Structure 1
Amino acid sequence: MQTPQKTSYDVVIVGGAMYGSSVAWWLSRNPDFDGSILVVERDPTYEFSSTSHTNSCIRQQFSAEVNIKISQFGAEFIHGFQEFMQDDEAPEIVLQSYGYLYLADNEAFAATLKDSQKTQQRLGAGTKYMTADEIHAAYPFYNLDGIIGGNHNLINEGYFDGGTIFDWWRRKARAQGAEYLHNEVLEITKNATGDRIESVTLASGDVVSCGMLVNCSGPRGAHTARMAGLDIPVEPRKRYTFIFSAQTPLDRDLPLTIDPSGVHMRSEGKYYLAGCPPDDDPAVEFDDFVQDHSIWEEKVWPTLANRVPAFEAIKLMNSWAGHYDYNVFDQNAIIGPHTRVSNFIFVNGFSGHGLQQSPAMGRGVAEWITYGEYRSLDLSSFGFERIENRDTFVERAVI
């Protein structure tokens, strides 16, 4: 454990993975913010963080306008990464635009896709609704029995190198003055009236005063909030990823295909990637990354072979289990201040959308800390108020 350089910071960020580093980078680069930043990370290897287990995908195929705009800025950030970093050594980040393809096997879901496509198109996304015949003409390797149609977009949808973005955010945040500390927050202390965070107590025994506390602790988000006597409906949920090779590779790229079964698949270089949630999807312990191999044998492989007959002969190359910071209320992020403890800032509950939303969400939180408002994109619909008021954020495109 490391000892902090100071006893008081303007902003203490709990968690230094993708979101902690996004907030730290956006905040430290803002010329209107002149405060001190401490990022407390319990595991600087990030071995078990959601950031390390991500599939690094991005899509504009959401139903809610703000989610579409968030991803559009994410694509802009990826394409303009070198300019944003303002560093000649920053690499180019390539967005592999293989696209997403949502498949519909019933009229109700097809109608939902068509409605979402209209919203996406109005906002400038390249999504098209395709009939089963049109899908077959573009991708003849699919078995489309039972499929009515689908939504597809080949513009700024696909996957990218999220690990490099994370590495540069962390590196540049440090260079811009943010202090990263290998330690762990064990206790959060409020003032006598209970409406402000005063300090955090670290595993090293150090007590650090803070002007604002930012909860970027991923699947541990509810645990961190409970230290301050606060509750959010966020829990760790296990998600599975499989890398496989095909005896007969496809003759063209495989879009990230969302099968009606819940299994998704896409090209991954010379290999292919598939993933899914378990049918029984409970909360899990923070350190539970045990794989259930029956999911591959009984759910994923049969679905792959059915949807893409060429995948009857495949070889599993690698697999892992990771955690979503899953918002059980409405599967969307909780962003911004608590309604009563005004200097406790949530950055939680992304439910699998986290990496693609991290550029816009990190920017927005940094704006709120600096100015007390969102300036680039209004993120107020993700506020904690909706949790208190049981006002669901409706997003119909959740994978």
Structure 2
Amino acid sequence: MQGFRTEPARDSYDVVIIGGAIMGSSTAWWLTQMGFPGRVLVVERDPSYERAATALSFSCIRQQFSTELNIRISQFGAEFVQSLRARMGGDDRIPALKIQNFGYLYLADTPAFADVLRANQAVQAAAGAGTRLLSAEEIAAEYPFYRLDDILLGSLNTRDEGYFDGYTVFDWFRRKAREAGVEYLADEVAGLDLSGNRVTGVRLASGRRIGCGMVVNAAGTRGARVAAMAGISIPVEPRKRYNWVIQAERPLDRPLPLTIDPTGVYVREVGGGTYMAGGHADVDPAADPDDFAMDPDIWLDKIWPVIATRIPAFEAVKVVNEWAGQYDYNLLDQNAITGPHPEIGNFLFLNGFSGHGLQQSPAMGRATAEWILHGGYRSLDMRPFHFDRIAAGQAMVEAAII
């Protein structure tokens, strides 16, 4: 638990952030960069982060979204990752990060899905993304290892789209926040105290009560539980996602884009003849947030048959690692819930990222810090993600969820 306190240093803080993974740590760091004058406490239930989505992610970034705001968020994320050292003051301890631009390739096998890709590409192009639409013949010319007899259209972007070292970004958010005075506490929030329309304190599992000026719910798959402590219901639940690292007997002769098959199964480059594949069961219920058990059948019944059909070279592969992770899945529209609650104004959301939180963390942490400091946004306007749409049941659907 290096860097974590076991007892809070104070009885009250100006901001208490519930959850110290990448969203909470991004917010904490941005507060220090913006000159926030108050005291900030981050409460993290698992200082090892062993089962945090931050640690279990595919760690990729893309601009292939269907909404302009999500595209802009990831464009900022790509710039931030590749200028991390400069963003953090030129600290020589921080590595110079790059994006491994193998890209994302969405494959459509029906006219309806092809139309979705065309509509998405128009939005992406208007926002300056480098997405290209490719026929099956054009895909085959660039990537001859695919079987494409059922494919009508592909959507590909290899600019600022691919793998990045997300855990290093997270580690430096956390380290720099701590060095700037943010306090990290190893404990769990067990309840919230309210008075009128404000949260006045957090109750910890250890028995302590901490007064607070504002609370940020960055609790990941436990975000709905934290919201319920304030009497708020959000449509967010844990959903399991399964992942495999495979070694190919016949490695491909060029980098493999993160390929999203029409079945929803996906596979991407790692390097050296190694690849990562992932997906979920056909029945995709809510999971217990502590459930990380692997499904013993899903690899042979679903994932391997799909990737071996799409990429015949993968008929002979060896599984070298496997794990289950979880999305904090927004049932309404698979988009984030951010900003303040309309009635409990000092309770802020950072929830429901539905699998794209890691890449959105630089922009989302910045936006949350702006709201805390200014009561509004100074960069990207995140109001479309506010809780108001949840209360009204007005979905802002993101059509490009993996």
With normalisation by structure 2, the TM-score equals 0.97
Q: Is 1:204 the equivalent of 2:203?
A: no
Of 295, 300, 309, 2:312 maps to 309
Distance across 1 between alignment mates of 2:24 and 2:238 = 18
Q: What residue number does 2:171 align with?
A: 167
Q: What residue number does 1:216 align with?
A: 218
Distance across 1 between alignment mates of 2:79 and 2:281 = 33
Q: What residue number does 1:79 align with?
A: 82
Q: What residue number does 2:138 align with?
A: 134
Q: What residue number does 1:11 align with?
A: 15
Q: What residue number does 1:100 align with?
A: 104
Deviation of the 1:293 alpha carbon: 2.2
The alignment partner of 1:355 has SS state of: helix
Distance across 2 between alignment mates of 1:106 and 1:286 = 35
Of 49, 60, 77, 1:46 maps to 49
Q: What residue number does 1:278 align with?
A: 281
Distance across 1 between alignment mates of 2:187 and 2:193 = 17
Of 222, 225, 228, 1:226 maps to 228
Give yes or no for contact 1:57–1:158 (8 Å, CA) kept in 2.
yes
Where does 1:231-242 land on structure 2 (aligned, <5 Å)? 231-242=233-244
Q: Is 1:390 the equivalent of 2:390?
A: no
Q: How many residues align?
A: 396
Q: Is 1:354 the equivalent of 2:353?
A: no
Deviation of the 1:118 alpha carbon: 1.3
Identity, in percent, stands at 57
Q: What residue number does 2:257 align with?
A: 255
CA deviations over 1:55-79 (Å, ceiling 9, x no partner): 1010000010000000000100011
Q: Which amino acid aligns with 1:388?
A: A
The alignment partner of 1:293 has SS state of: coil
Q: What residue number does 1:186 align with?
A: 190
Distance across 2 between alignment mates of 1:328 and 1:394 = 10
The alignment partner of 1:188 has SS state of: strand
Q: Which runs of 5 or more residues in structure 2 are unaligned?
A: none
Distance across 2 between alignment mates of 1:91 and 1:154 = 23
Q: Is 1:345 the equivalent of 2:329?
A: no
Distance across 1 between alignment mates of 2:251 and 2:328 = 34
CA deviations over 1:70-99 (Å, ceiling 9, x no partner): 000010001111111111221111210000
Of 122, 125, 129, 2:129 maps to 125
Deviation of the 1:394 alpha carbon: 2.1
CA deviations over 1:9-46 (Å, ceiling 9, x no partner): 00000010111101001111212x11110000111001
The alignment partner of 2:297 has SS state of: helix
Q: Is 1:67 the equivalent of 2:70?
A: yes
The alignment partner of 1:173 has SS state of: helix
Of 268, 271, 289, 1:269 maps to 271
Q: Which amino acid aligns with 1:25?
A: W
CA deviations over 1:119-145 (Å, ceiling 9, x no partner): 111111100000000000000000001
CA deviations over 1:361-380 (Å, ceiling 9, x no partner): 11000000000001110010
**Runs in 1 of length 4+ with deviation above 6 angstroms?**
none
Give yes or no for contact 1:2–1:204 (8 Å, CA) kept in 2.
no
Q: What residue number does 1:144 align with?
A: 148
